[in-house]
Every structure is written in C-alpha cells, then in structure tokens.
Amino acid sequence: MGEVLAQAWAVARKDLVLEFRTRTALVSAVVFAALVLTVFNFGRDPTAVPTIDLAPTILWVTFTFAAMLAMNRAFQLELENQALEGLLASPLSRTGLYWGKLVANLVFVAVVEAVGLPLFVLFFDVPVGRVLAPLVGVIALATLGFVAVGTLFSALVMRTRFAELLLVVILLPFLVPPLIGAVQVTARLFGGRPLSESVGYLKLLAAYDIVFVSLASFLFRFTVDE
Amino acid sequence: MSLAHKGRWITMVGLVCLAGVYVRALAFTPVERLQGPAQKIFYLHVPAALWTEAAMILVGLAGIFYLFLKDPRLDRFAAASAEVGTVFAIIVLTTGPIWGKPIWGTWWTWDARLTSTLFLFFLYVGYLLVRGAVRDPGVRARYAAVLGICGLCLVPFIHLSVFLFRTLHPQPIIVKPSAPSLPGSMLATWLFSLVAFSLLYVGFVTQRYAVGDTDHA
C-alpha cells in the first residue's frame, strides 16, 4: 500500500511539475472557466430571473465544462514521444499510475475551481461568505467523483479516433448523478437552508465517490495494458 | 437450425404476442378511469423501460465476465444487448411523450425519471460510439467491458437521484416493494406484454449475435 502511494505521488509530481512549468493547459482551463462565466452573464435576463436562482447552475456548468477540458490533458500528454510506453514499462503498478493521474487531475481541477469560485462570486454577487466551508466541501465531493470517472475514461479513449469528442460524450452521462447532487446542495446552501436538508444528496455524492474511485482503480489496468 | 434462424423465430413469436397484447389491451382490458385510453400505452412503455435497464445490466455483467474469461462470445453478446437496449430506450422515449401530451399537457418535462432515461439512452449511444471508434477486436472488447461495467454501476445512482428528486412521473405501481396496485385484468395484460417484450429482446439479441458471429468469422 505504502509503495503504491509512493508511486502515485511520483506520477502526480511528474505531471504537476510539467504542468506548472509550461502552464499552457492550466491557464487555458482557467481562462475557459472565466469565459463560460462571462457567457452566462449575457445568456440570462437579470430583470426576469434573480441571480440567486441561477447561481448553482452557473457554478456547476462552469466547473463541469472546465473539469472535462482538464481530463483530456491527462493522457494526451503521455502520447507524445510514446511517453506512455515508458510509464507502462517502468515497474509502476497500474493502481499507482491511476492514483497518480487522479491526484494530478484533482490538483489541476482544484486550481481552476479556486480561481473560478471567486470570479463567480464577483460576477454574480452571490453571498457565499457564511456557507463557504460547506460549499467547499460539496465542491470537493463532487469534483472527486467527476475526476475519478474522467481520469479512467480519458485513459480509455486516448488511443481512439476523435478522443476529445468521444470523452465528452461518454463522460457526461456519468457526471449527471453527482451534478444533480451538487446543484441541489448548492441551491440549498445559497438559499440559507440548514445543511440537514441536504443529507440525502450528500450521501449520494459520497457513495458515488466511493464506488467510482474503487471501481476506476480496479478497471484502470484494462484500459492501458496491451 | 442456425442461430440467426432461431433468433428470427423467437422474434416472430414475440411480434405475434405483441399483436396479441394490442388486441387484449384495446378490447379486453378496462379503460382507466382518470387517464382514459392514454393509459393503454403503459402496456408498451413499462415493459420496454424494464428491458432498457435490464439490457444495460446484462451489458455490464457480460463486461465483468469478459474481463475474467476473455471469451469473445461475451463481448459479442454485450454488443448485441447494447444495440437492442438502445432500440428499447428509443421506444420508451417515444411512447413516454405520446402519453405525456394528453396527461401532463406537455411532450417533455425535465422530470428526474425522464432525464435519467434520456441519460441511459446517451450511455448506450456513448457505448456504441466507443465500440465504433476502436478497430482492434481485442482492445474494443476490453474498452467496451470497462465502459459497460461503469454503466452497470451508474444505473443504481440514476435511480437514487430519481427518488431524491421531486417527480411528476407516476410512481411504480407494479415493480415496487409492496403488492402491485392495479386490477387483475390490467396486471394480466401487462404481464403478457412483458412476456412479448422479453421474447423480442431475446429474439433481437440472438439475431444480432448471429450477425456478429459471421462478422468475426
């Protein structure tokens, strides 16, 4: 177990160092999130619909799109110069490789969300101050689910034709249960409802994370091995 | 008799049964008091919906066994089941709005159950697209198995979100923990229809499987 974690950390570190040195993908994803927020601003009529009613949708559509964009990066990067063959030939357990990619993707998406959330508050004037801690918790729960499935599927499609397009098509149906949960909890938080009203959805999110992280850890080996 | 022939026969019997369901539902089953004749569509809608989900579950189970046994026949079955499941999903998504228009006054509403069926349909489409995007049969079978297993695990989550969501859709009246709450004659018609749809599923899958057999030979 300790060894798998060490391997995962090595893979994640390699990915993150690569990412923070070039920053192309990260900056693109952050700018993309900001652009989606801007587009939402023009896609609504502020006199007809109060922002607070639309806020959970805006937040989650932005995060979902940004996360999907980030997923493509994880394995596309390994296709250049057959880097993947090197990774697979190294004495690296498949679970370690998956967890490493998962952690790198989580950090990547977390950075995008960390920039996206203040922008969202700024653009739409949503009072998040008093619900910040539970909101961050919900974002973390939902993001873990998104990224666990997304990392597995990005490995699955990387060698197919139209990988980017295919990833979005197969990933979105899987994002619906956590998305429904996240939007419902966020709406209740913004509406000033007590957290106890959201217990059902929080359980759904937690169960989704547990099932899909374990499932993806197990299934990952079948997507990369020849 | 070849497999394709057997499949054709089962399908024929299923179609005859389906015609019988129509006759029985229209002429020999009482009209529901509140919904009127629109309720008749329930005899097609619900069995098709059950098989849409069952087909996804079978795709997932075939995927699990494929990863352990590496038997290409399992993959061929999964492919056949996914295609038939897609057809059944289309039946559900067409009959639903036809019922919804007179009863709800709208063809479509973003109700949890409609949404989840739509996403099950998208899941099937994604599965078939992945199959189409990989050329090597071994890799295709492996990828499809992984996706199928994930799909199998997604189905309960879709259901959970259905029960948490407020829904306009009628609550289950047959497949639920307590006893079915509908008159015996309606239940009989429904069960007859379930038999017809089961025969159609088996018949379609057998034929598709036989075609896959010749594809790979």
Provide the 3-class DSSP secondary structure of residue B32. Answer: strand
Residue A163 pLDDT class (50, 70, 90 cuts): confident
A-chain CB neighbours of B146 within 8 Å are 152, 156, 219, 222-223
The count of CB pairs under 8 A between chains A and B is 85
Give alpha helix (H) positions in A80-131.
Answer: 83-89, 94-124
Tokens of B98: 């036809």
pLDDT computed for residue B2 by the predictor: 85
Find, among B208, B82, B55, B70, the residue nearest to B142 by Cα: B70
Going by the DSSP 8-state scheme, the letter that residue B30 receives in this structure is P
CA A153 → CA A11, A130, A164, A187, B115, distances in Å? 18, 36, 11, 29, 22
User: Is there a contact between A204 and B123 if contact means CB atoms under 8 Å apart?
Assistant: no
Q: Which among A172, A181, A223 has the least Cβ separation from residue B146?
A: A223
Domain for residue B56, yes or no? Answer: yes
* Burial (Cβ within 10 Å: 0-12, 13-18, ≥19) of residue B110: exposed
pLDDT computed for residue B217 by the predictor: 43
Please tell me the distance in Å from B158's CA to the nearest CA on chain A: 6
B167 and A CB contact within 8 Å: no
pLDDT computed for residue A164 by the predictor: 83
Domain for residue B93, yes or no? Answer: yes
Please tell me the distance in Å from A173's CA to the nearest CA on chain B: 6
B157 and A CB contact within 8 Å: yes
A-chain CB neighbours of B53 within 8 Å are none
Specify whether the CB–CB gap between A207 and A176 falls below 8 A: no
User: Is there a contact between B164 and A201 if contact means CB atoms under 8 Å apart?
Assistant: yes
Going by the DSSP 8-state scheme, the letter that residue A161 receives in this structure is T
A-chain CB neighbours of B142 within 8 Å are 222-223
Instruction: Determine the Cα–Cα distance for residues A71 and B36; give it in Å rounded to an integer.
Output: 50
Residue A127 pLDDT class (50, 70, 90 cuts): confident
Q: In chain B, which residues have pLDDT < 70?
A: 112, 162-169, 171-181, 213-217
Number of structural domains found in chain A: 1
Q: Which among A162, A176, A181 has the least Cβ separation from residue B119?
A: A176
Summarize pLDDT for A56-82 with one digit per residue, the tens.
888 999 999 888 888 888 888 888 888
Say yes or no to pLDDT of A210 above 90: yes
pTM of the shown model: 0.87
Query: Percentage of chain A with pLDDT > 90?
Result: 35
Domain for residue B174, yes or no? Answer: no
User: Is there a contact between B119 and A173 if contact means CB atoms under 8 Å apart?
Assistant: yes
Say yes or no to pLDDT of A97 above 70: yes
Domain for residue B175, yes or no? Answer: no
B-chain CB neighbours of A169 within 8 Å are 122, 125-126, 129
Q: How confident is the model over A23-49, as a mean pLDDT?
A: 84
Say yes or no to pLDDT of A49 above 60: yes
Provide the ipTM.
Answer: 0.87
Going by the DSSP 8-state scheme, the letter that residue B36 receives in this structure is B
User: Is there a contact between B161 and A172 if contact means CB atoms under 8 Å apart?
Assistant: no
Spatial CB neighbours of A176, under 8 Å, sequence gap ≥ 6: B115, B116, B119, B158, B161
User: Is there a contact between A204 and B147 if contact means CB atoms under 8 Å apart?
Assistant: no
Summarize pLDDT for B148-200 with one digit per residue, the tens.
999 999 988 877 776 666 656 676 666 666 666 677 777 888 888 888 889 99
- The single residue listed with the structure tokens 């091995």 is A225
Instruction: Determine the Cα–Cα distance for residues B102 and A90; give it in Å rounded to an integer.
Output: 63
Domain for residue B121, yes or no? Answer: yes
| H/E run at residue A159 | none
B-chain CB neighbours of A172 within 8 Å are 122
Number of structural domains found in chain B: 1
Among B114, B164, B167, most A C-beta atoms within 10 A, so best to mutate, is B164
The HSE-up count of residue B87 (CA atoms within 13 Å, CB side) is: 11
Specify whether the CB–CB gap between B102 and B37 falls below 8 A: no
User: Is there a contact between B133 and A181 if contact means CB atoms under 8 Å apart?
Assistant: no
pLDDT computed for residue A90 by the predictor: 85
pLDDT computed for residue B61 by the predictor: 95
Instruction: Determine the Cα–Cα distance for residues B183 and B171; give it in Å rounded to an integer.
Output: 16
Specify whether the CB–CB gap between B194 and B1 falls below 8 A: no
Please tell me the distance in Å from B161's CA to the nearest CA on chain A: 6
Domain for residue B206, yes or no? Answer: yes
Residues of the domain holding B63: 3-30+37-169+187-216
Residues of the domain holding A16: 2-224
pLDDT computed for residue A216 by the predictor: 93
Q: Which among B123, B129, B161 has the least Cβ separation from residue A166?
A: B129
Q: Which among B142, B147, B157 has the least Cβ separation from residue A177?
A: B157
B23 and A CB contact within 8 Å: no
Specify whether the CB–CB gap between A211 and B153 falls below 8 A: yes
Please tell me the distance in Å from B24's CA to the nearest CA on chain A: 38
